[in-house]
């Protein structure tokens, strides 16, 4: 396999998925964001957003905190240090690949 | 692709300014500053109040900043978060940037009394100086957030400062008027943004986050 193709194959697939990439980009700027904010910014359905957040959480890239606002459940998401590093690495890899 | 990342990042940052509350809060501080500077020159010289106001400047600014911050948080919780969702931002922790900002602030702050001392005509140009300085701050805010309103406010700040200096309204009186004008412009701009925000964003139904 050529080094270029290896670089492509080595991309972090958890971050690489478009919906999760948008979520990770938002959370790389935001310290934390709630479900409503992420849903509005990504345009994902509740089910889809929940699925992708769970995937990020399972990979150790996102921390999901479930609290309450009055009696209404409130979900806050943030990138973990590992998630932020994975996102930065992904961006660096993509930049290198596209510059070649 | 890098542009797309940057567009998402910028849109996320801009969401903080979409509701106009930040401008209203900052505008209120500038209006307060206008009144404060006007108080310094309008109060009789025999009174001890002007001297008290001068010495309390730092505390007035800090207190006003803390108060406005509290009010801003309260309003965000009541108006913005139920409509657009909650987001908090990472704090800028770059020591180099902080140091640069601190040095620029200190040099600018220290240069004003020096310039006033050695160039007597500088007092007449104070509103223009103030206008340019605040204009630069608004330009930086605009480039960081991508909010076009801040470009307009930067222009208003610069033009108002020049106009006041050209009209012969210099010194503290001119600065006081400049602060009041800029504060009023910011409050109006913020209110317009808030009206648009409220029209575009209906309060989300209070249903659980996840299906």
The burial of B46, by beta-carbon neighbours within 10 Å (0-12 exposed, 13-18 middle, 19 or more buried), is given as exposed
Residue A67: what pLDDT? Answer: 83
pLDDT tens, A22-62? Answer: 999 999 999 999 999 999 999 999 999 999 999 999 999 99
User: Residue B9: how many CB atoms within 10 A of its CB?
Assistant: 16
pTM metric for this prediction: 0.81
Class of domain A5-93: mainly alpha
User: Residue B171: how many CB atoms within 10 A of its CB?
Assistant: 17
Residue B208: what pLDDT? Answer: 56
Interface check B168 vs A, CB under 8 A: no
Task: Look at residue A7 and tell me whether its pLDDT is greater than 70.
Answer: no
Task: Look at residue A96 and tell me whether its pLDDT is greater than 70.
Answer: yes
Of A29, A32, A36, the CB nearest to B204: A36
Is the separation of the CB atoms in B28 and B180 below 8 Å? Answer: no
Is the separation of the CB atoms in A72 and B206 below 8 Å? Answer: yes
For A3-7, B55-59, B127-131, B166-170, which range has the lowest pLDDT when averaged over its residues? Answer: A3-7
Closest-CA distance of chain B to residue A2, Å: 23
pLDDT tens, B118-152? Answer: 777 788 888 898 899 999 999 998 988 888 999 99
Chain A residues with at least one Cβ partner in B under 8 Å: 22, 25-26, 28-41, 46-47, 50, 72-76, 91, 94-95, 98
Reported as a pLDDT band with limits 50, 70 and 90, residue B199 is: very high
């Amino acid at each position: 396999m050529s080094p270029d193709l290896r670089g492509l194959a080595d991309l972090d697939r958890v971050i690489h998925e478009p919906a999760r990439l948008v979520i990770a980009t938002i959370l790389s700027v935001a310290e934390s964001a709630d479900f409503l904010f992420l849903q509005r910014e990504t345009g994902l359905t509740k089910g889809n957003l929940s699925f992708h957040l769970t995937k990020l959480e399972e990979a150790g890239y996102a921390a999901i905190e479930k609290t309450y606002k009055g009696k209404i459940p409130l979900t806050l998401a943030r990138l973990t240090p590992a998630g932020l590093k994975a996102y930065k690495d992904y961006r660096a890899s993509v930049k290198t690949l596209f510059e070649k | 692709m890098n542009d797309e990342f940057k567009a998402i990042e910028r849109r996320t940052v801009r969401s903080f300014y979409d509701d106009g509350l930040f401008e209203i809060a900052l505008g209120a501080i500038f209006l307060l500053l206008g009144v404060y500077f006007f108080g310094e020159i309008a109060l009789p010289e025999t009174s001890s109040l002007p001297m008290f106001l001068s010495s309390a400047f730092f505390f007035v600014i800090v207190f006003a900043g803390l108060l406005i911050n509290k009010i801003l948080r309260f309003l965000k919780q009541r108006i913005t978060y139920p409509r657009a969702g909650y987001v908090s931002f990472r704090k800028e922790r770059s020591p180099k940037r902080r140091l640069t900002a601190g040095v620029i602030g200190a040099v600018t702050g220290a240069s004003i009394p020096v310039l006033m001392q050695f160039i007597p005509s500088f007092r007449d140009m104070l509103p223009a100086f103030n206008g340019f300085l605040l204009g630069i701050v608004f330009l930086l805010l605009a480039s960081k957030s991508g909010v076009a309103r801040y470009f307009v406010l930067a222009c208003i700040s610069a033009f108002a400062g020049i106009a006041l200096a050209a009209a012969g309204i210099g010194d503290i009186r001119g600065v006081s008027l400049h602060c009041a004008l800029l504060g009023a412009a910011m409050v109006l701009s913020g209110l317009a943004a808030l009206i648009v925000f409220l029209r575009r964003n209906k309060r989300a139904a209070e249903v659980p986050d996840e299906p």
